[in-house]
Structure formats: structure tokens, C-alpha cells
């Protein structure tokens, strides 16, 4: 065997899994390869082993459950390839031995050993955070429901600006990075955070980058699928009037990226009671409309060109023209939205902002606010979907979609479909990860036999 597995690995596994199967091990593959290559090789090996495991156990007697290989993930760390393995596995040792053997068959030389992941520090404790939610340029598309498909180039620019904004804050404790459901990793100073960020960014997964100091932390959360970039500043620095420089800082970022955004809001996070929420049935669909309808009122909002001629006015609001059709709309009494509650207010159940202030602000926004979806509308949407089966493309065509030049809109493809009879269907929108035709000619109702599709042509505009 050319990849070794020290005995302590299985010894530890047997110890920690004696009483529960909800455990996993961190294992580090060290080889002569660089860590990126080692990560690729290990990922491929894990994929093969899991596929083989599933195939081997595909046919089980009806009264037995198919064994679960467990959760196995691979992520690059500076020292090599980190294998996070075995969560809920029915066959940890079998799978691990198979991975070692597969790696050896592939000619890998190295060691798969226990890895102590650096401890991730806590955020310093504060009261809520100052938050800016930014919706980047993009367009409304139809997936299962309406969705905002981000312009990937605008998203990249906003991510870079937001990451730099985070990294300006002094990381007395650590700089951390997390993507998808994988554990948060501590970054070393010699590792460029921007490079690590680009490495893990994908269209599919949420990414978080944080700079954690003793008195302040900054964090950026990117959700590429709906084109949102959220930055927060938190920690003891927010106390008393400390929220003011934090608000200035996040608003400064909003101004900086305004030409790549259609909407943004700045506020202080706090727990909201159910009855205080405007939107209860929207289920995130309001995000697809933020370019012309605000989800709620906030002390500071960036209103893009879609709000032209409809920007709320009045003595409570101060509008600043940022150019390119964008307006920064700020409430004149920022403290009324962003201050800390006093003991007296807290005991009485009062909030900041007070309910009457929120009501007044909502009234001044009027029809600029997104209207919640009713239960009847939701029922109607459900009934429509039941009556209109989705047009799933054959596997071979999905592969062709994925082979097209990178689509400018995250998870959305503008294409033409070539049919078996040689005809071409133009103005086709594909969503759901490239698997499903969503609209043809802008219409959700169309006639298409997916099995007749033989080719797909790129029609995206860059």
C-alpha cells in the first residue's frame, strides 16, 4: 500500500463511535503533491468509493435498509487535503479502507492521519450587529418560484469589495472562511484570503468570510444563488454611540458598490416577533423583486433605478443621489432605529425601532413595498405546478448546458434548443441547475418534448 493509515485512526474512531453514530473524524492526507492537487485526487477517490459503495448495496432485501456510507467531504487546507468523514456512517472502516486502497491504486504516496483542526474563535459578544444586505445587479427569472439571478460579474466585484471591507478590521483572533456546510476554517496569514475565497466560491454554495477581533468582528456572507451579499459588523464596539461608526462603515461599502447593486438595506439586527414581520408567506420570493419593491423599511436603503420616480419623500427621509439612477435614502432620526434599548424600554416590551415609527415609515413607502403573498395565491401557484409538469432535459443535454460558456447569470441559461427534426426553439430559459426548461418566449406555458432536444445553443448576452 502506498498510502498509509496509522492504527490510531481506527482506534480513535472506535472510541468516539462506540455510543453514537453522529460523529466524524478529521483526517489529513499528506503527499508530495501540493495541497490543491492532493485535494483533487482525494475528492475523486471519495466520489469513486461512494459510488461503488452505493452500487454494491443497491439491492437489499425489502425488509432491510440500505446501509449509508456516511457524510464524506474533502476540503483543502494548507497542510494537505482534509477528509471530514464518517458522519452517520454504517460502514466507516469499510469506506475508509476503500479510500486508502483507491488512492494507492491511483499511485498516490502519502499518509492519511488524524488532523487537529485549528480552533475557531468566538465572535466577541455585542448587542445585535449592524448589517447591510446588498442585492447585486441581475434579473428576475423563474425557477420553482420567482428568483433573482445575479449578474456574476457584478457579484464578483461586490464580493471583492465586501471581502476587503471585512479584512480591514483587525483580526486579533482570526480570519475565518466557511463554505457550504463544511466546518469553518482558520486562515493563516501567509494564505491570501482573497485566493482562498475565490477557490471555494461557486454558484451553488453560501460562503462566509470573517475577521474576528477582540472588540469587533466583520463578516461577509455570500449567497450566489439569489445574488445577495450581506456584511455585518458586531461586537462590543457597537455599545453606546459605537453603532454610528459601524453604520457609517457599512453604508460606505453600500455606496462603494452601489453601481453593482439594485437594492440594499442597512439596519441593526434584533429578534423580531412574528406579528412584527411584514412578510410571512413570501418565503424569500421578495428577493426577486427588490430591484423595484423594498421588502420592508430600514433606516438606510439604497434604491436602484427601478425605483425612479417612486422614491419616498417627506420630512422623515433624506435622499442622496449616488448617480447612475441610484439614491441613498436615510431616515433623519437614525438613533430611533439603531440605538440600544434601555432597561425601562426593555421591561415594557418596547423595541427600537418603536412600532409606531415602523408603521409610519411603512406608510410613507406605500406601494414601494413588496406586498406579501396570500395563502390563496400560494395555493394557486401550487395548483398551477401540479397541472404543468416540469420539462426536465435528458442527461446528455444537461451535460451540454453545463459545457456552454459560463452563463452570465448565476444558475440561469439563455439558450436555443435544437430539436430532432432540425428546427430550433429560440428564447429558451433554463434553470434548476441546468436541468429544466423554465420559460420559452417569456411564457411559463409552452409545448416541448424534452426527449426531442438534441442540442443546445448559447444565446446569453455578455
Partner 1 sequence: MELTNAVLARAAEIERSYHAPVLAMRVESTLDRVQILERVLAAIATLAGTDAIHWSVDDEPAGVIVRQWGHAADIGATLLDLSRALDSEGVDGELVVHAPEPRPARTPLRERPEELLECHVRVRGERRFAQIASNRPEPVVRFFPDDAAMLAGMEAALAWVGDPPAGAELWSRGDLPHRDVGEVRAHIAASLRDLRGPLSRMPTNAWWESGDRFRLVYVAPASGDVSFVEGGPRLAAGGWEEPYSMLVEELSAASAWGSYGLIKRGREPGQVGRSVGQDWVPFLRSGRYDFTYSFYEDVLAPDAFGAQLLGSGYAGRVPEGADWERVDVGHEAALLLHRDPAAWFGEPLPPITILASGHPDPAYPTPEVILRAREDLAGILVSPDAIAGTPLDPLRR
What is the contact surface with partner 1 in residues (CB under 8 A)? 118, 122, 124-125, 127-128, 164, 167-168, 170-175, 186-194, 214-215, 236, 239-240, 270-271, 273-274, 340-349, 351
Residue 361 CB, shortest distance to partner 1, in Å, is 20
Residue 62 CB, shortest distance to partner 1, in Å, is 37
Residue with cell 430539436: 419
Residue 91 CB, shortest distance to partner 1, in Å, is 33
Determine the Cα–Cα distance for residues 261 and 220; give it in Å rounded to an integer.
16
Q: Of 94 and 339, which CB lies nearer to partner 1 in the complex structure?
A: 339
Q: Of 126 and 312, which CB lies nearer to partner 1 in the complex structure?
A: 126
Phi, psi of 167 (to 5 degrees): -75, -15
Q: Of 164 and 259, which CB lies nearer to partner 1 in the complex structure?
A: 164
Q: Of 275 and 445, which CB lies nearer to partner 1 in the complex structure?
A: 275
Cis peptide before 402 (omega within 30 of 0): no
Q: Of 57 and 117, which CB lies nearer to partner 1 in the complex structure?
A: 117
Residue 164 CB, shortest distance to partner 1, in Å, is 7
Residue 171 CB, shortest distance to partner 1, in Å, is 6
Determine the Cα–Cα distance for residues 141 and 411; give it in Å rounded to an integer.
10
Nearest partner of 373 among 455, 438, 279, 436, judged by Cα: 279
Q: Of 30 and 351, which CB lies nearer to partner 1 in the complex structure?
A: 351
Determine contact, residues 262/134, Cβ cutoff 8 Å. Answer: no
Residue 329 CB, shortest distance to partner 1, in Å, is 27
Instruction: Render 340-389 in DSSP notation, one character per residue.
Output: PPPHHHHHHT--SS-HHHHHHHHHHHGGGBPPPPPHHHHHHHHHHHHHS-
Neighbouring residues of 56: CB distance < 8 A, sequence distance ≥ 6: none
Angle among Cα 124, 128, 133 to the nearest 5 degrees reads 110
Look at strands 424-431 and 326-331 and give their pairing. Answer: unpaired
Amino acid at each position: 500500500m502506498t498510502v498509509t493509515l496509522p492504527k490510531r485512526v481506527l482506534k480513535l474512531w472506535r472510541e468516539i463511535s462506540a455510543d453514537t453514530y453522529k460523529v466524524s473524524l478529521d483526517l489529513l492526507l499528506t503527499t508530495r503533491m501540493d495541497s490543491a492537487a492532493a485535494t483533487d485526487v482525494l475528492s475523486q477517490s471519495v466520489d469513486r468509493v461512494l459510488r461503488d459503495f452505493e452500487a454494491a448495496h443497491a439491492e437489499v432485501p425489502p425488509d432491510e435498509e440500505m446501509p449509508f456510507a456516511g457524510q464524506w467531504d474533502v476540503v483543502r487546507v494548507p497542510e494537505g487535503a482534509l477528509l471530514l468523514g464518517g458522519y452517520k456512517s454504517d460502514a466507516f472502516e469499510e469506506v475508509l479502507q476503500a479510500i486508502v486502497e483507491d488512492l494507492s491504486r491511483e499511485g498516490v504516496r502519502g499518509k492519511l492521519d488524524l488532523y487537529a483542526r485549528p480552533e475557531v474563535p468566538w465572535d466577541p459578544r455585542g448587542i445585535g450587529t449592524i448589517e447591510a444586505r446588498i442585492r447585486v445587479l441581475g434579473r428576475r427569472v423563474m425557477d420553482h418560484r420567482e428568483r433573482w439571478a445575479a449578474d456574476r460579474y457584478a457579484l464578483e466585484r461586490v464580493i471583492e469589495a465586501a471581502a476587503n471591507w471585512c479584512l480591514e478590521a483587525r483580526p486579533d483572533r482570526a480570519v475565518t472562511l466557511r463554505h457550504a456546510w463544511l466546518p469553518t476554517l482558520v486562515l493563516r496569514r501567509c494564505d491570501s484570503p482573497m485566493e482562498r475565497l475565490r477557490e471555494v466560491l461557486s454558484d451553488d454554495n453560501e460562503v462566509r468570510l470573517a475577521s474576528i477581533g477582540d472588540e469587533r468582528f466583520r463578516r461577509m456572507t455570500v449567497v450566489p444563488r439569489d445574488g445577495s451579499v450581506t456584511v455585518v459588523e458586531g461586537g462590543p464596539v457597537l455599545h453606546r454611540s459605537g453603532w454610528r461608526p459601524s453604520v457609517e462603515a457599512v453604508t460606505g461599502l453600500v455606496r462603494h458598490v452601489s453601481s453593482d447593486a439594485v437594492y440594499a438595506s442597512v439596519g441593526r439586527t434584533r429578534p423580531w416577533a412574528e406579528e412584527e414581520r411584514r412578510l410571512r408567506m413570501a418565503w424569500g420570493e421578495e428577493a426577486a423583486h427588490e430591484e423595484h419593491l423594498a421588502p420592508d423599511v430600514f433606516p438606510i436603503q439604497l434604491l436602484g433605478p427601478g425605483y425612479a420616480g417612486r422614491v419616498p419623500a417627506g420630512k422623515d427621509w433624506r435622499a442622496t443621489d449616488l448617480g447612475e439612477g441610484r439614491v441613498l435614502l436615510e431616515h433623519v432620526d437614525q438613533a430611533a432605529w439603531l440605538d440600544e434599548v434601555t432597561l425601562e424600554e426593555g421591561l415594557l416590551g418596547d423595541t427600537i425601532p418603536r412600532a409606531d415609527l415602523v408603521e409610519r415609515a411603512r406608510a410613507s413607502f406605500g406601494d414601494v413595498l413588496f406586498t406579501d403573498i396570500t395563502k390563496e395565491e400560494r395555493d394557486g401557484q401550487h395548483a398551477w405546478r401540479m397541472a404543468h409538469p416540469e420539462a426536465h432535459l435528458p442527461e446528455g443535454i444537461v451535460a451540454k448546458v453545463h459545457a456552454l460558456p459560463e452563463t452570465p447569470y448565476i444558475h440561469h441559461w439563455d439558450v436555443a434548443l435544437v430539436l430532432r427534426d432540425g428546427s430550433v426553439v429560440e428564447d429558451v430559459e433554463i434553470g434548476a441547475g441546468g436541468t429544466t426548461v423554465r420559460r420559452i418566449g417569456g411564457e411559463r406555458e409552452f409545448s416541448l418534448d424534452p426527449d426531442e432536444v438534441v442540442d443546445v445553443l448559447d444565446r446569453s448576452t455578455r
